[in-house]
Amino acid sequence: MSNIPADTSIEPDFEDYYVNMGPQHPSTHGVLRLIVKLAGETVLGVTPHIGFVHRGIEKMAEALTAQQFFPLTSRLDYLSAHMNNWAWAMAIEKAAGIEVPERAEYIRIIMSELSRISSHQLWWGVFGMDLGAFTPFLYGFRDRERVNDIFEKTCGVRLTMNYICAGGVREDVDRDFEKDVREFTDYFEPMIDEYDRLLSGNIIIQERTKGVGVLDPETAKQYGCTGPTLRAGGVDYDVRKNRPYGLYPRMDFKTAVATEGDSWARYVVRLEEMRQSLKIIRQALDQIPAEGPVRAKTPMNIKIPDGHYLSRVEAARGEFALYLVGNGKILPQRVKLRSPGFSNLSALPETVKGWRIADLVTIMSTFDLVMPDIDR
Amino acid sequence: MESYIYRTDKLILDLTEWLTEATGSAFAAEVVKMSIAAAVLSAFVGLLAMILIYIERKVAGHMQQRVGPMRVGPHGILQTVADSIKLVAKEGLTPKNADAFIFNLAPLLVFASSFACLSFIPFSPGMTIVSFNVGLLFILGIASVGVLGILAGGWASNNKWSVLGAMRSGAQIISYELSATLALLAIVPFFGTLDFQEIVLSQQKGWWIWRAPGVGLLGFLIYTIASTAECNRTPFDIAEGESELTGGFHTEYSAMKFAMFFLAEFINIFIVSAISATVFFGGWMPFHIEGLDTLNRVFDLLPPIVWFFGKVACLVFVVMWFRWTFPRLRVDQLMHFEWKYLMPLSLINLALAAIAVSAGLYFFN
């Protein structure tokens, strides 16, 4: 299969067969446009075109105070809104030297892991649909609904939460929070096994993913891939472990790693991550102090002192890093966002070369791209 | 037992006699009879497709932990009626650079081939619109005309995705037709006829799926797989492959033209299930166990037409079940599966069948 010679040139030639995949295509999950060069069914090359949902969020940050910028971070990778909020909060806290109360730290961890699970649930359902099985989609959404309900009760919002803020979290959790989350963890653990029964064990899924779209660790590192996309190739890099933040050092969990680097490995890694997230949530629920403040006292407008501040979090798709340059004013001088999706997408053309159109869909699906995250 | 519901063959005979008397000539009677049949069949096709689409949506719903259509009419039974009205009322578009003639002809080709196949199906004793001594062969031939429509539609759309879909479906249907035909052919020597009514009559003592030792079951499995592929259904729906090809060959079709493709797909499901029911499961023949006369009488109480539709419904359900549980195969895997496994297997099956028949190795002979 993969030994079909694939030339790298995407220069148009009269005899070449080009198709435009996207921006309106069911499998690009948003507004990604791929120019695909084909020989029959075989993909010779892919050029991604991005920018359809570019909003200039980095530039907007320069005109917004720390507090005002939070809602925009929720709108980057909308499936890891909590993690993105956290990255911005962490940068501000580093800059202004704010201490976060312990209870808030635990709430942040629980919320982040819940959104990791919900993001992977959605990915799992969509992955099934990309491969032509419609049923997983509704199974994934059925379970994701429960996570969204938990978010709604506490944050009042189901998608763009804007809940984590500088100095802690916006307000204390809902009074049913602990009960709900425990119920969810007990409910969802057997559901992952059900996912396995419905999709993972299916011979067609295995045929379609095993060995398909191998992203070797060297290439992955060169392109800056992170998250499950990188870990599937055997590189054990997880921000939560390698550059711990918050109270993650207190948590006992394994990073999900596979060795093959193919679509199947990426699939397995994500399923394992859901299990690990459940484990983290359980520990956090056991350790969380029952009482206590959830937000440190901060001035209304936080002055960002002179200097450069970097924060990184492990979002659902990989490492989300935020670089903040302050100049002593309440408005930041410069904000740079490093989104995981962008780097993962840049490894896509290399990975799909020589595979079929159907594999392009599989590979794209296992890379788990979210366009607002890439376009910013 | 003598009422027309049970003895539909008698009904047809009496009707023909009466028509011949009324019109005064056998030819005129035949013309009137065919006109009635055509009208009934047209109504049947519309109704059948609507019911099948409704069932499909309900089956899908319940497999996916939801309830399916519920709003239009009680339990959503009028949903497909509403959808049909919408499709008829929509504007039929032809893309600017499409080959308009072929583009408009393609859905007709697909639909006509499916429609024609229906006239050979034995619904009940004597109730076959065209009684034909090579009905089985003819239906296989006619069914393959449909692929021309798909190829033509994909090509004439002037859309790259459509061409890809059409090419895929052409390759797929032509390959899987071989297995489907071979699987049916393996059973033919047992009954030694190609006339559908006689095939049904040959199963008075038992259905061929178990009367032909092993061969029947294997043939049925091969035919089920191959016919699912022929209908372009999941896991073989690579021709449409909505997540890859955004609809495949019918990307550019809308309104009635799209509805014809859609209608044909559902009629095809019915036809392949009907063929399967007729050849392997005794068609309209009630289930009988030799010796248990009381039980057989109870089974006889159900009219043959109910038996026929009951069997077909079970087989249709299996095909729908496939669709809502399986992912889609890749195009090359599909070809591998056909040419490396299914096709040799059906050839072996044919050889085994030939041996079994010549040695008289089958039950209740």
ipTM at complex level: 0.78
Query: Quick one: pLDDT at residue A117?
Result: 92
Residues B74, B51: Cα–Cα separation, whole Å: 14
- For residues B183 and B76, state if they share a domain: no
- For residues B215 and B72, state if they share a domain: no
Query: Quick one: pLDDT at residue A8?
Result: 47
The answer, for B52 touching chain A at a CB cutoff of 8 Å, is no
Among the residues of B7-143, which ranges form H helices? 8-23, 26-63, 79-89, 100-118, 135-143
Residues A30, A25: Cα–Cα separation, whole Å: 8
Q: Do B241 and A202 touch (CB under 8 A)?
A: no
The answer, for B97 touching chain A at a CB cutoff of 8 Å, is no
Rounded to an integer, the average pLDDT of B141-146 is 84
- A331 sits in which H/E element: none
| Residue of B65, B234, B246 with shortest CB distance to A142 | B65
The answer, for A133 touching chain B at a CB cutoff of 8 Å, is yes
- Identify whether A79 is part of a domain: yes
Final residue belonging to a domain, choices B89, B118, B147: B89
The answer, for B328 touching chain A at a CB cutoff of 8 Å, is yes
Q: Which residues of A touch B65 (CB under 8 A)?
A: 138-139, 142
- For residues B193 and B72, state if they share a domain: no
B233 three-class SS:
coil
Q: Do A357 and B164 touch (CB under 8 A)?
A: yes
To test the contact with chain B by mutation, choose from A38, A41, A200, A366 the residue with the greatest count of B C-beta atoms within 10 A, namely A41
The answer, for A73 touching chain B at a CB cutoff of 8 Å, is no
B3: Cβ contacts below 8 Å, ≥ 6 apart: none
CA distances from B287 to B128, B209, B302, B308, B361 (A): 21, 13, 10, 11, 22
The answer, for B60 touching chain A at a CB cutoff of 8 Å, is yes
Query: Quick one: pLDDT at residue A119?
Result: 92
A137 three-class SS:
helix
> Which residue of chain B is at minimal alpha-carbon distance from A24?
B246
Q: Do B327 and A133 touch (CB under 8 A)?
A: yes
- For residues B32 and B106, state if they share a domain: no
Final residue belonging to a domain, choices B89, B113, B133: B89
- A47 sits in which H/E element: strand A42-49
- Identify whether A355 is part of a domain: no
Final residue belonging to a domain, choices B89, B119, B149: B89
Residues B111, B109: Cα–Cα separation, whole Å: 5
CATH of the domain at A265: 1.10.645.10
Among A49-63, A149-163, B5-19, B182-196, which is the least confidently predicted range? B5-19
- Identify whether B183 is part of a domain: yes
Residue B9 burial by CB count (10 A; 0-12/13-18/19+): exposed, middle or buried? middle
The answer, for B161 touching chain A at a CB cutoff of 8 Å, is yes
Ranges of chain A whose pLDDT falls below 70 = 1-15
Residues B229, B246: Cα–Cα separation, whole Å: 19
CA distance A145 to chain B (A): 13
Summarize pLDDT for A350-365 with one digit per residue, the tens. 888 888 888 888 898 8
- Identify whether B146 is part of a domain: yes
User: What are all long-range contacts of B29-37, with beta carbons under 8 Å and residues at least 24 apart?
Assistant: B34/B129, B37/B119, B37/B129
> Which residue of chain A is at minimal alpha-carbon distance from B323?
A133
- Identify whether B1 is part of a domain: no
Q: Do A358 and B331 touch (CB under 8 A)?
A: yes
Burial A167-200 (b: 16+ CB within 10 A, else e): bbbbebbbeebeebbeebbeebeebbeebeebbb
The answer, for A111 touching chain B at a CB cutoff of 8 Å, is no
CA distance B337 to chain A (A): 11
Q: Which residues of A touch B325 (CB under 8 A)?
A: 133, 135, 198
Among A99-103, A240-244, B178-182, B234-238, which is the least confidently predicted range? B234-238
To test the contact with chain B by mutation, choose from A28, A42, A135, A144 the residue with the greatest count of B C-beta atoms within 10 A, namely A135
- Identify whether A242 is part of a domain: yes
Closest CA to A34 of A56, A57, A52, A16: A52
Query: Quick one: pLDDT at residue A4?
Result: 42
- For residues B46 and B157, state if they share a domain: no
- Identify whether B8 is part of a domain: no
Rounded to an integer, the average pLDDT of B26-36 is 83
CA distance B324 to chain A (A): 6
Q: Do B64 and A19 touch (CB under 8 A)?
A: no
**Number of separate domains in chain B:** 2
Q: Is the pLDDT of residue B365 over 60?
A: no
Q: Do A19 and B65 touch (CB under 8 A)?
A: no
- Identify whether B4 is part of a domain: no
Q: Which residues of B touch A130 (CB under 8 A)?
A: 243
CA distance A148 to chain B (A): 18
Q: Which residues of B touch A139 (CB under 8 A)?
A: 64-65
- Identify whether B292 is part of a domain: yes
How many CB pairs below 8 A link A and B? 80
**Number of separate domains in chain A:** 1
The one-letter code for the residue type at B336 is H
Q: What is the pTM of this model?
A: 0.84
- How many degrees, rounded to 5, is the angle at CA A283 between CA A279 and CA A288? 145
Query: Phi, psi at residue A38, to the nearest 5°?
Result: -120, 150
CA distances from A191 to A134, A136, A181, A183, B39 (A): 17, 12, 15, 13, 52
Which tokens go with A44? 């010779």
- For residues B158 and B96, state if they share a domain: yes
Domain of A237 in residue numbering reads as: 57-344
Query: At B49, is the pLDDT very low, low, confident or very high (cuts 50, 70, 90)?
Result: confident
Query: Left (φ > 0), alpha (ψ -120 to 50) or beta: where does A214 sit?
Result: beta
Q: Which residues of B touch A197 (CB under 8 A)?
A: none
- For residues B142 and B275, state if they share a domain: yes
- For residues B97 and B34, state if they share a domain: no
The answer, for A146 touching chain B at a CB cutoff of 8 Å, is no
Q: Is the pLDDT of residue B280 over 70?
A: yes
- For residues B315 and B327, state if they share a domain: yes
The answer, for B25 touching chain A at a CB cutoff of 8 Å, is no
Query: Quick one: pLDDT at residue A113?
Result: 92
CA atoms within 13 A on the CB side of A63: 4
Side-by-side strand order, sheet with A33-39: A17-21, A33-39, A42-49
Rounded to an integer, the average pLDDT of B327-337 is 85
Among the residues of chain A, which ranges form H helices? 57-61, 66-74, 81-96, 102-130, 135-155, 177-195, 203-209, 217-223, 228-231, 239-242, 263-287, 340-346, 348-352, 357-367, 371-375
Query: Quick one: pLDDT at residue A5?
Result: 43
| Residue of B60, B160, B327 with shortest CB distance to A132 | B327
Q: Do B237 and A132 touch (CB under 8 A)?
A: yes
> Which residue of chain A is at minimal alpha-carbon distance from B162?
A19
Summarize pLDDT for B50-79 with one digit per residue, the tens. 888 898 889 888 888 888 888 888 888 888
Residues A174, A42: Cα–Cα separation, whole Å: 53
The answer, for B62 touching chain A at a CB cutoff of 8 Å, is no
CA atoms within 13 A on the CB side of B33: 23
Query: Quick one: pLDDT at residue B149?
Result: 87
CA distance B168 to chain A (A): 9
- Identify whether A198 is part of a domain: yes
Residues B36, B253: Cα–Cα separation, whole Å: 32
- For residues B80 and B200, state if they share a domain: no
Angle between helices A102-130 and A177-195 (to 10 degrees): 30
- Identify whether B265 is part of a domain: yes
The answer, for B267 touching chain A at a CB cutoff of 8 Å, is no
Q: Which residues of B touch A208 (CB under 8 A)?
A: 327, 329-330, 333
The answer, for A145 touching chain B at a CB cutoff of 8 Å, is no
Domain of B75 in residue numbering reads as: 15-89
The answer, for B322 touching chain A at a CB cutoff of 8 Å, is no
- Identify whether B275 is part of a domain: yes
- For residues B190 and B287, state if they share a domain: yes
Q: Do A358 and B234 touch (CB under 8 A)?
A: no
- For residues B72 and B103, state if they share a domain: no
Residues A335, A326: Cα–Cα separation, whole Å: 9
- Identify whether A357 is part of a domain: no
- Number of Cβ within 10 Å of residue B11's Cβ equals 17
